[in-house]
Structure 1
């Protein structure tokens, strides 16, 4: 936890310079719960950016119903098509950056914010520029997020220690758009989230890029709570969530984008990266068998591998560009 200097540290953080970015798609009920939680926040952010991925439900009406009572300025961006979480967060980050936000707090629509969540994150803002808070699961238990990746394999380390020492934080080299709190200086250096991912691996890649520019941390602060129950397989120490055919496709396809990033940054090892891809494929097979109890869906994995190879072989591929040229940040 932050030390006795919390008060002075928090004084260096102005909540009005923070923007919450929410991406939503056809889940107005969940969005309503999130917006209700923001009404009770103290302090509140300066802006709330809501990116609607062309929902066909009553999302627009829900957003409009909160304008006069949420206590902060809402910027509502309705996309013409569904751009996935990746496209939504890329657009939301762009809007927040152009609003002049110093801090950008990303979250999905299936969480709610703790009333003092922004204050808790802001207490760490004077020390770090890429911060991940903790969250409760749907049942109120502590949610474990895989905060470190095995870089050569480009996959999460599932059993990285969950505990915190007296410092109240641990260094991470990954990211999660369900709670990433990032400074505009880092966004300027690494650019916007890559919308080409559509879904999956986008936040891990973005967090990894951030960790190459600054000391990225996960802090022992519970600031969010998941509001959607997800089917899980209880493995004792950890849980494995259910997935979908779309996720199965993109988790394999997007290894092609990751390979391209690794090549451009000079960290690509074909043997180890290939091993990471094989382990990912095996994990998805286990998920099918033990969480969803079916063998149907493997075709999506193979389609993803095929299309990922095409991406990896694309000689015209370029990474997302930085927004400004600036000196590296400690």
Structure 2
């Protein structure tokens, strides 16, 4: 059942030491170094920082170890044997954070920096909500717009969701982004860990959607992160369209089938509307190729993703990630 009010435990305030920052990284030690420097400068700091390394071939291990004594909090390093993608990395990072006893888990990629008072700003909302997204500055210092609502039956972001905040300082959302998701363990226990089968793409949107079905999820008018990686974009004014890759194109289409399975399991699957959402996604990726990357090469990866998704769609043994046993606290 979806809850909208704070529980008695969460009404007691926010303890920064009860939070864990969980970072997923792969072969970008320079960016990771910048993130760890920003965490070292935070006030207050979280109780733990968990770094999940997707088997990076670079010097990521050395970079992490160089911060162990200067990050200012307990640093936990998990180097995986293989690259499990962002999905597998965040699933493992969340699992480790729960094992550490964390009440709050703050997820982020390696290509951001935390603003010094970021955790304090997020913690301000913790007594009221259990699934929270803060705001980000883009690489150039501009305000980054994130599509915080999805059209549920089509399972696609709504690009014209209002960007302005009213006096409340928050807006309800039904999506999520692992670049800054701040979530309470109570919700994680109810919906399970992020699904590593996504590998990349749609995983965080789906996870945020699942969370919003259990609690009031919000994006708050608090800038807490800054993106540190410049991405080729098509500037459309308020909105931007980023460049992509063939790997992303494949998973964008293939993973529609995983979303379909989650919609079926949650009783919201509408074949016509979901099919329309898939068609619109395909069209958007064609526009991205032409307008941002100035090519039509790459369409084969979109078709390959659709083809491989059929086997997932037809798998009647597919089961969503299972809820977790509540911890005794």
TM-score range, shorter chain: over 0.9
The CA deviation at 1:309 is 1.1
**Deviation readout 1:121-162 (Å, 9 max, x if unpaired):** 000000000000000000000000000000010000011000
The CA deviation at 1:235 is 1.4
> What is the aligned partner in structure 1 of residue 229 from structure 2?
228
> What is the aligned partner in structure 1 of residue 183 from structure 2?
182
Distance 1:38 1:26 in 2: 19
> What is the aligned partner in structure 1 of residue 306 from structure 2?
305
Are 1:271 and 2:279 matched, yes or no? no
> What is the aligned partner in structure 2 of residue 95 from structure 1?
96
The CA deviation at 1:182 is 0.1
**Deviation readout 1:83-117 (Å, 9 max, x if unpaired):** 00000000000000111100000000000000000
Matches within 5 A, 1:84-163: 84-163=85-164
> What is the aligned partner in structure 1 of residue 4 from structure 2?
none
SS at structure 2 position matched to 1:133: strand
* Runs of 4+ with >4 A deviation: none
With normalisation by structure 1, the TM-score equals 0.95
User: Does structure 1 retain, via aligned residues, the 8 Å contact 2:12–2:127?
Assistant: no
> What is the aligned partner in structure 2 of residue 78 from structure 1?
79
Distance 2:15 2:198 in 1: 33
Distance 2:32 2:12 in 1: 31
**Deviation readout 1:230-267 (Å, 9 max, x if unpaired):** 00001123110000000000000000000000001100
With normalisation by structure 2, the TM-score equals 0.95
Gapped runs of 5+ residues in structure 1? 1-8
User: Does structure 2 retain, via aligned residues, the 8 Å contact 1:153–1:273?
Assistant: yes
The CA deviation at 1:325 is 6.2
Distance 1:295 1:10 in 2: 53
> What is the aligned partner in structure 1 of residue 287 from structure 2?
286
User: Does structure 2 retain, via aligned residues, the 8 Å contact 1:256–1:312?
Assistant: yes
The CA deviation at 1:168 is 0.1
The CA deviation at 1:11 is 7.2
User: Does structure 2 retain, via aligned residues, the 8 Å contact 1:191–1:322?
Assistant: yes
SS at structure 1 position matched to 2:306: helix
1:94–1:38 Cα change, 3 Å? same
> What is the aligned partner in structure 2 of residue 50 from structure 1?
51
Distance 1:99 1:11 in 2: 21
Give the count of matched residue pairs. Answer: 318
Distance 1:296 1:265 in 2: 37
SS at structure 2 position matched to 1:141: coil
> What is the aligned partner in structure 2 of residue 261 from structure 1?
262
Distance 1:272 1:295 in 2: 27
Distance 1:10 1:243 in 2: 42
Distance 2:238 2:201 in 1: 24
User: Does structure 2 retain, via aligned residues, the 8 Å contact 1:10–1:123?
Assistant: no
Gapped runs of 5+ residues in structure 2? 1-9
Report the aligned-residue RMSD: 1.2
User: Does structure 1 retain, via aligned residues, the 8 Å contact 2:11–2:128?
Assistant: no
User: Does structure 1 retain, via aligned residues, the 8 Å contact 2:23–2:109?
Assistant: yes
